[in-house]
RNA sequence: GGCCCCGUAGUUCAAUGGAUAGAACGGAAGUUUCCUAAACUUUAAAUACAGGUUCGAUUCCUGUCGGGGCUACCA
């Protein structure tokens, strides 16, 4: 049984017996700080009103009672208002027997019966992916894995932003200045080729804008009159009208981009169950605007544009349809959401993995869905993550201040390869194995670097210093795993008996590792509730660190007592398993040797 | 201007309202006849400022200062 639940019951019983009062509130425990003896700590302050005594005396009394009446409690000590409880080695041994037999330790055993759709990635098809997208993809993928581990049915969705004025910008620039360049003719990856023209558009736009400003036209007015902008708007109208030539160009360029994305996704190790295209959902959004108008939720201005008044909810007026009848971002999102409600009536939750710069957008979106009468609006959740910043500020695709995803992945693999070579511990591996290992290590460094940070917080990436491979990093954890596997291999060769059930009581060092393993299921559950992979990342790091300490302190194979030796090897093996399972939830693979 | 988020060692990150605020990198000093030194050990170094709430505040509230985002007929 779970230790906290067990002790909670005992404490409630204790209070009742000692002080003749019911304590109905939840009793909370915390981990005992390492500088004190004990495994788990009860904070006494909430009980002093009931006991009518000082914290130390209350703690003594509760501790005495627990020690006498609870066989799991071996001993206790009191420091100020804290009751530090030592759990018996016998309890830890029982616990260990359970986890070493459970292959999926930490993961939910039963289905929760819930279905959750998580949307992530959602790229625009006008430029290649950059570091910001990497955070999005890794976060979305990891949260999906974590939710599965919590017993939910998960649908991973990718909504491709394949249409809109930004897409037309790349198209127009290519049409004007591309001279028929293709991925084949240029040797460029498709998404990079298209991105090149997106940047080109911006460059030309600015040139034209400056010409207008030089003529003395006020900036605000000039911005709307740049010929290139008028052309691109015309192109969007043609696209929405189904103009053959425009559609053909659009299809061709989007195909280039998809081929490029496919490679990046594969390199990152992310995947999807369901792909949506905005080009196929925006019309539904438009019809929803009609519906909203009829219901009186929306209103139309004289110029024909459609709006919603959200001032009563503390927000602003929001545009839903342009005066020329074309749709905007939120129009499409309304359509997509409603389509999903209809397609998956069983959906318990719909999670959008999108950066926090869109907090306002999603607030508005969910409010509109609610006002349109969709009760599923309350099941929608914006998984809002912080931006990845560079030392000089935000990344901007148009201005070319981006860290390209493909470049960064390649660079990390290179760094890993150099380090592997330098260490020279991989002899006996053929080229393919070595390549696979370096891939694994390079990606672990990148993924862990991003996922160890609380998703809600913005994070900084400095391209000048490459991502570390030592310290609190993915490769550190991988290394610990490789060491453990090496131990286990050796045990299998030299000591065939090691896998028999452990019978030796764990010592102090073993218990501190066991305590750590004990918390894994709780961490998986909490990270699932909070949609926060960083909890798992930090947990695994602490576990690996603790194991390395153990490894340095205790010589496992030197131990003469066979049952003690067996316990240690099994403990190492269990630790390796938790590391592997935890890293899997982060989308990170761990090697058998490195 | 309005709304939202954030200020923790030199740097990058931790800390359900709990004990002496943890790590990593970088700095200083050590550990290899022993299971993988991508490791381990020791060490210096931080809660922007001012109030409030309480047994107790990095955490909650108010204000000041500083940073970022949104406030587009961009997405």
Name A118's bridge partners.
A156, A351
Q: Are strands A40-43 and A82-87 parallel, antiparallel or unpaired?
A: antiparallel
Q: What average pLDDT does chain A have?
A: 92
Q: Nearest nt to A441, CA vs C1'?
A: B38
A329 shares a domain with A189: yes
| Segment among A21-25, A245-249, A377-381, A513-517 with least mean pLDDT | A21-25
A360 shares a domain with A425: no
**For residue A313, what is the DSSP state?**
G
Distance A510 CA to B41 C1' (A): 20
Q: pLDDT at position A313, please?
A: 87
Strand B and A429 CB separated by under 7 Å? no
A489 shares a domain with A434: yes
Determine contact, residues A45/A97, Cβ cutoff 8 Å: no
DSSP strand E in A44-181: where?
73-79, 82-87, 115-119, 153-160
Q: pLDDT at position A314, please?
A: 83
Distance A359 CA to B64 C1' (A): 27
Alpha carbons within 13 A on the beta-carbon side of A8: 13
A39 shares a domain with A80: yes
A427 shares a domain with A381: no
| B72 C1' closest Cα residue | A319
Estimate the crossing angle of helix A227-241 against helix A165-177, to 10 degrees.
Answer: 110
Residue A456 pLDDT more than 70? yes
| Token pair in block for residue A155 | 């649908």
Strand B and A296 CB separated by under 7 Å? no
Q: What is the DSSP string of A452-514?
A: TS-TTS-EE--TTSPPPSSSSSHHHHHHHHHHHHHHHHHHHHH-GGGGSPP-SPP-HHHHHHH
A262 shares a domain with A210: yes
- Which nucleotides of strand B come closer than 7 angstroms to any CB of the protein? 4-6, 11-16, 18-20, 23-26, 34-41, 55, 68-75
Residue A31 pLDDT more than 80? yes
Determine contact, residues A506/A514, Cβ cutoff 8 Å: yes
Residues 84-123 of A with CB under 7 A from strand B: 84
Determine contact, residues A574/A468, Cβ cutoff 8 Å: no
Task: Taking residues A400-412, report their average pLDDT.
Answer: 91
Residue that the structure tokens 């993550």 belong to: A385
Strand B and A302 CB separated by under 7 Å? no
Residue A406 pLDDT more than 70? yes
CA-to-CA distance for A317 and A210, rounded, in angstroms?
32
Strand B and A419 CB separated by under 7 Å? yes
A379 shares a domain with A416: no
Residues 348-377 of A with CB under 7 A from strand B: 356-361
Strand B and A519 CB separated by under 7 Å? no
Q: Nearest nt to A532, CA vs C1'?
A: B14
A521 shares a domain with A374: no
Angle at A58 between CA A50 and CA A75, to 5 degrees: 135
Strand B and A316 CB separated by under 7 Å? yes
Task: Taking residues A5-14, report their average pLDDT.
Answer: 91
Name A394's bridge partners.
A389
Estimate the crossing angle of helix A329-343 against helix A278-295, to 10 degrees.
Answer: 90
Report the phi/psi class of residue A37: left, alpha or beta, with left for phi > 0 and alpha for psi in -120 to 50: beta
Per-residue pLDDT reduced to its tens digit, A463-520: 888 899 999 999 999 999 999 999 999 998 887 667 666 778 899 899 999 999 999 9
Q: pLDDT at position A495, please?
A: 74
Please count the structural domains in chain A. 3
Residue A99 domain flag:
no
Q: Are strands A82-87 and A73-79 parallel, antiparallel or unpaired?
A: antiparallel
Distance A48 CA to B53 C1' (A): 21
Residue, of A489 and A327, whose pLDDT is higher: A489
Per-residue pLDDT reduced to its tens digit, A509-560: 999 999 999 999 999 999 999 999 999 999 999 999 999 999 999 999 888 8
Per-residue pLDDT reduced to its tens digit, A137-192: 999 999 999 999 999 999 999 999 998 889 999 999 999 999 999 999 999 999 99
A130: confidence class by pLDDT, cuts 50, 70, 90: very high
| Token pair in block for residue A254 | 């989007």
Residue A418 domain flag:
yes
CA-to-CA distance for A503 and A507, rounded, in angstroms?
12
Angle at A420 between CA A419 and CA A426, to 5 degrees: 165
Residue A318 domain flag:
yes
Q: pLDDT at position A1, please?
A: 61
Distance A383 CA to B5 C1' (A): 14
| Token pair in block for residue A47 | 């009980």
Q: Tell me which H or E stretch contains A569.
A: helix A562-585
Closest among A477, A512, A444, A486 to A573, alpha carbons compared: A486
CA-to-CA distance for A416 and A553, rounded, in angstroms?
29
Distance A49 CA to B17 C1' (A): 18
CA-to-CA distance for A233 and A547, rounded, in angstroms?
61
Percent of chain A topping pLDDT 90? 72
Q: Nearest nt to A384, CA vs C1'?
A: B5
**For residue A327, what is the DSSP state?**
B
Q: Nearest nt to A321, CA vs C1'?
A: B73
Strand B and A322 CB separated by under 7 Å? yes
Task: Taking residues A362-390, report their average pLDDT.
Answer: 94
Distance A441 CA to B73 C1' (A): 48
Distance A537 CA to B58 C1' (A): 22
CA-to-CA distance for A24 and A12, rounded, in angstroms?
8
Q: Which domain holds residue A53?
A: 3-87
A205 shares a domain with A351: yes
Backbone angles phi, psi at A300, to 5 degrees: -110, 135
Residue A449 pLDDT more than 90? yes
CA-to-CA distance for A354 and A352, rounded, in angstroms?
6
Q: Tell me, what CATH number does A128's domain have?
A: 3.40.50.620
pTM of the complete model: 0.95
Distance A233 CA to B16 C1' (A): 52
A7-26 burial, b for 16+ CB within 10 Å, e for fewer?
bbebbeebbeebbeeebeee
Strand B and A527 CB separated by under 7 Å? no
Percent of chain A topping pLDDT 70? 98
| Token pair in block for residue A133 | 């997208």
Strand B and A566 CB separated by under 7 Å? no
Q: What is the DSSP string of A29-57?
A: EEEPPTTSS-SEEEE-GGGHHHH-S-HHH
Q: Tell me, what CATH number does A62's domain have?
A: 3.30.1360.70
A350 shares a domain with A262: yes
Strand B and A30 CB separated by under 7 Å? yes
CA-to-CA distance for A308 and A481, rounded, in angstroms?
55
Angle at A513 between CA A511 and CA A518, to 5 degrees: 90
Domain finish residue from A330, A359, A389: A389
Per-residue pLDDT reduced to its tens digit, A265-315: 999 999 999 999 988 888 888 888 888 999 999 999 989 999 999 988 888
| B34 C1' closest Cα residue | A555
Distance A461 CA to B15 C1' (A): 23
Strand B and A387 CB separated by under 7 Å? yes
Strand B and A475 CB separated by under 7 Å? yes
A318 shares a domain with A192: yes
Question: Strands across the sheet with A393-394, in order?
Answer: A393-394, A388-390, A459-460
Residue A580 pLDDT more than 90? yes
Residue A211 domain flag:
yes
Query: What number of residues does chain A have?
Result: 594
Residue A319 domain flag:
yes
Residue A395 domain flag:
no
Residue A591 domain flag:
no
A327: confidence class by pLDDT, cuts 50, 70, 90: confident
Residue A414 domain flag:
yes
Residues 179-208 of A with CB under 7 A from strand B: none
A170 shares a domain with A26: no
Closest among A70, A172, A160 to A124, alpha carbons compared: A160
């Amino acid at each position: 049984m779970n230790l906290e639940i067990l002790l909670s019951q005992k404490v409630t019983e204790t209070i009742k017996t000692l002080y003749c009062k019911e304590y109905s509130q939840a009793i909370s425990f915390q981990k005992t700080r390492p500088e004190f003896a004990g495994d788990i700590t009860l904070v006494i302050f909430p009980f002093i009103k009931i006991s009518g005594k000082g914290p130390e005396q209350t703690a003594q009394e509760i501790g005495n009672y627990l020690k006498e009446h609870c066989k799991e409690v071996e001993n206790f000590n009191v420091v100020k208002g804290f009751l530090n409880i030592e759990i018996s080695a016998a309890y830890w041994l029982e616990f260990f027997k359970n986890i070493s037999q459970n292959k999926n330790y930490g993961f939910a055993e039963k289905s929760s019966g819930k279905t959750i759709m998580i949307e992530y990635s959602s790229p625009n098809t006008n430029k290649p992916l950059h570091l910001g997208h990497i955070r999005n993809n890794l976060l979305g993928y990891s949260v999906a894995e974590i939710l599965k581990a919590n017993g939910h049915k998960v649908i991973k969705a990718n909504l491709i932003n394949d249409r809109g004025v930004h897409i037309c910008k790349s198209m127009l620039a290519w049409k004007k200045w591309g001279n028929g360049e293709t991925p084949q003719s240029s040797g460029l990856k498709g998404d990079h080729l298209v991105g090149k023209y997106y940047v080109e558009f911006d460059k030309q736009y600015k040139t034209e804008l400056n010409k207008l400003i030089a003529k003395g036209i006020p900036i605000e007015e000039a911005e709307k009159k740049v010929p290139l902008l008028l052309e691109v708007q015309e192109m969007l109208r043609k696209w929405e009208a189904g103009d053959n030539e425009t559609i053909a160009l659009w299809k061709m360029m989007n195909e280039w981009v998809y081929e490029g994305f496919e490679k990046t996704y594969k390199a990152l190790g992310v995947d999807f169950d369901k792909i949506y295209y905005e080009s196929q959902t925006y019309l539904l959004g438009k019809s929803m605007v009609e519906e909203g108008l009829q219901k009186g939720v929306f209103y139309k201005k004289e110029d024909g544009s459609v709006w919603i008044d959200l001032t009563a909810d503390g927000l602003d007026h929001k545009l839903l349809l342009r005066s020329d009848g074309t749709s905007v971002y939120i129009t499409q999102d309304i359509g997509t959401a409603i389509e999903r409600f209809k397609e998956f009536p069983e959906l318990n939750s719909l999670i959008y993995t999108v950066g926090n710069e869109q907090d306002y957008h999603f607030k508005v979106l969910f409010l509109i869905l609610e006002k349109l009468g969709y009760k599923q609006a309350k099941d929608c959740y914006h998984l809002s993550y912080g931006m990845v910043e560079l030392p000089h500020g935000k990344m901007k695709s148009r201005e070319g201040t981006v860290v390209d995803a493909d470049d960064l992945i390649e660079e990390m693999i290179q760094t890993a390869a150099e380090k592997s070579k330098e260490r020279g511990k991989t002899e006996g591996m053929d080229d393919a194995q070595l390549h696979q290992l370096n891939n694994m290590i390079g990606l672990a460094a990148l993924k862990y670097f991003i996922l160890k940070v609380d998703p809600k917080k913005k994070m900084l990436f400095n391209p000048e210093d490459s991502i570390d491979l030592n310290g609190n990093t993915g490769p550190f954890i991988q290394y610990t795993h490789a060491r453990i596997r090496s131990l286990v291999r050796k045990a299998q060769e030299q000591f065939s008996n090691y896998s028999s059930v452990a019978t030796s009581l764990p010592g102090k060092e073993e218990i501190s590792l066991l305590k750590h393993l004990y918390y894994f299921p709780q961490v998986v559950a909490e990270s699932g509730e909070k949609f926060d992979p960083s909890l798992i990342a930090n947990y695994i790091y602490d576990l690996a660190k603790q194991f390395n300490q153990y490894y340095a302190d205790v010589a496992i194979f030197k131990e003469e007592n066979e049952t003690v030796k067996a316990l240690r090897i099994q403990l190492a093996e269990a630790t390796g398993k938790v590391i592997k399972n935890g890293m899997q939830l982060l989308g990170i693979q761990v090697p058998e040797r490195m």
